[in-house]
Amino acid sequence: MKDIFENPLVERYASKEMLENFSPKKKYSLWRKLWIALAEAEKELGLPITDEQIEEMKKYAEDINFEDAEEFEKYTRHDVMAHVLAYGKQCPKAKPIIHLGATSAYVGDNTDIILMRDGLRILKKKLINVINNLAEFAIKYKDLPTLGFTHFQPAQLTTVGKRATLWIYDLLLDLKDIEYTEENLLPRGVKGTTGTQASFLKLFEGDEEKVKTLDKMIAEKFGFKKSIPVSGQTYTRKIDSFVLRVLQGIAESAHKFANDVRLLSGLKEIEEPFEKTQVGSSAMAYKKNPMRCERMTALSRFVIVNGLNPYITASCQWFERTLDDSANRRLVIPEMFLATDAILNIFINVSAGLIVNEKIIEKHVKEELPFIATENILMESVKKGGDRQELHEAIRVYSRETQEEIKEGKANNLIDKILKDQRFKISKEEIEKMLEPRNYIGRSSSQVVEFIEVEVKPYLKKYSDFLGMSAVLKV
C-alpha cells in the first residue's frame, strides 16, 4: 500500500516526455553541461584549464551521484554547492576548476530557461495536433446548421464547423504566443554574483572583451543567439511571468473548449469519446459524463490560478535578488508545464474523437427555427402590403403563447398561428422555403473554408513534421 502523497500530475496526468523534461536527471545533467561549457570557454579564452580536466567532466556529465549530492546538501544547506562537491568527488582532476568564477544562478537560472524552452517545444507540438484535429472537424461539419447560442439562449443559426473555428482561433493565438516567446527567450548567461561580471573580469585580468565573449559563447553553446543584456544575481523573474502566461493562455483556450463541449453534451448534440467499458457513475449506470472535458477544465483552472505566482514573485524581488523566489519556482514552473501538458494530452484525445449527433442537432434546430424565421416572415409580409408594426405585435403575441405552450409539453405551432392570420398574406409553401436551415447560416460555410485555408493551413504546413500525434490517457 502506498503510504505517502503522490503528485497526481506525475501519477495520472502528465506525459512521460514532459516528466522527463523536468526530471532531476535532466536538471542536474544540464548543470554539469553548463559547467563543462564554462570550462571549455574559459580554456579557449586563455585560462589554465586542461583538456584532461574537461574530458573528466564530460565522462560524468550524465552519471550523477545523487546520493553523494544529498549527503553534501545535508551539511552545506546549499543545493548548488552540494552538486559541485558531488561532481568534484567524481572528477578529482577537474575539481579545482568546476564552477570557476560562477555563482549558483549560473547553473540554476540558465537551466530553468533551457527547461522552459524545451517544455514550450513539447507543448507546441501538441498544440499543433489539436489545431489539426479541430481543422479537420471544422471542414467536415462546415455545412451542418446548428443553433447558435448567446447567453446560452437559442440565437441565430451557425454551423458546427463554424463554431469549431472559434476554438481553433483561440489556439492559433496561443501558437503565435509560443512562437514569439521562443524567439525572445534568452538565458542569463555569465553574469557573476550580482550581475556585474566582476569575478570574470578578475579571472581575465581586466579584459572586458573576453568577459563579453565568454557570455556570448555560453549562450551559443545552448542554442541561443545571446544572453539577456543585464541581470542582478538572477535573471529578472518577469521572464518567468513572460513564459508562464503562455501556459495560462493555452489553459484559457482549453477551458473554453471543454466548457462548450460539456454544455453540448448536456444537450446531447456533441459528445466527447466514451469507451465501451467506461463507467459514467458508480450509482447511475446509464450515465455518460463528460469526464475528460471536466478534467480539462479542472486542470485549466489550476494553471490559470497558479499563473498568478510568477507575477507576485517577480514583484517581490529585492534589488539584485532575494531567495523567497526559490521554493515557489520549484513548484510553480514544473507543475504549470506538467498540468498544461496534461491538458493538451486530453485535448488531443477529445478533439480526435468528438461525436456529433446530427439528428439531435437537426431536432433542436427545427424546434427553434419557427422563432428564428419570424424576421424573414415579417419582411416578406410587409413587402406584400402588410403593416409592419401590426404584424410585429402579432408575432410577439403568438411567440409568447407558443413558448408557454412548449413549456407545457406541447409542440411548436407558431407557424400554424401565423398561417391562420390573414394579415400576413403568406402561403404555407412560402413559409416552408423560409424554414430551410441553410437560409440562416450566413457565410458560415465560406468562413470555415477561408479561415482554414488562409489562417490555419500555413501553420500546419510549417509544422507538418509535428503532425500525426495521438494521446492515450492514463486514466
Mean confidence (pLDDT) of the chain:
95
- Does residue 188 lie within any of the structural domains? no
CATH number of the CATH domain containing 35: 1.10.275.10
Phi/psi at 97 (5° precision): -115, 0
Grid look-up 482549453 returns 254
C-alpha distance from residue 30 to each of 75, 108, 185, 258 (Å): 24, 9, 17, 37
How many angstroms separate the CA atoms of 8 and 14, rounded?
A: 9
Is pLDDT of 287 > 70?
no
Positions annotated as catalytic residues are 151, 281
Is pLDDT of 292 > 60?
yes
How many angstroms separate the CA atoms of 237 and 311, rounded?
A: 8
- Does residue 323 lie within any of the structural domains? no
pLDDT for the residue 276: 55
Grid look-up 410577439 returns 396
- Does residue 54 lie within any of the structural domains? yes
Is pLDDT of 284 > 90?
no
Q: What percent of the chain has pLDDT above 70?
A: 97
Is pLDDT of 3 > 90?
no
Mean pLDDT value across residues 327-349: 97
- Does residue 403 lie within any of the structural domains? yes
pLDDT for the residue 472: 78
| Helix axes of 160-184 and 104-140: crossing angle, nearest 10 degrees | 160
- Does residue 333 lie within any of the structural domains? no
200 backbone φψ class: left, alpha, beta (φ>0; ψ -120 to 50): alpha
Could you tell me the pLDDT band of residue 425, with boundaries at 50, 70 and 90?
confident
Q: What percent of the chain has pLDDT above 90?
A: 92
Could you tell me the pLDDT band of residue 274, with boundaries at 50, 70 and 90?
confident
Q: Summarize pLDDT for 196-215 with one digit per residue, the tens.
A: 999 999 999 999 999 999 99
Mean pLDDT value across residues 416-423: 93
Mean pLDDT value across residues 157-168: 98
Is pLDDT of 237 > 70?
yes
Could you tell me the pLDDT band of residue 268, with boundaries at 50, 70 and 90?
very high
The number of CA neighbours under 13 Å toward the Cβ of 358 is 7
For residue 197, the surrounding DSSP H or E stretch is: none
Domain that holds residue 382: 374-434
User: 41, 71, 97: which is the final residue of a domain?
Assistant: 97
Mean pLDDT value across residues 362-371: 94
Is pLDDT of 282 > 80?
no
- Does residue 10 lie within any of the structural domains? no
Q: Where are the beta strands (DSSP E) in 318-437?
A: 355-356
Mean pLDDT value across residues 423-449: 93
pLDDT for the residue 244: 98
Q: What is the length of the chain?
A: 475
Number of domains in the chain: 2
pLDDT for the residue 33: 98
Mean pLDDT value across residues 146-173: 96
Between 141 and 287, name the one with better pLDDT.
141
Is pLDDT of 86 > 60?
yes
pLDDT for the residue 91: 98
- Does residue 231 lie within any of the structural domains? no
- Does residue 85 lie within any of the structural domains? yes
Mean pLDDT value across residues 444-459: 98
User: Is the separation of the CB atoms in 157 and 437 below 8 Å?
Assistant: yes
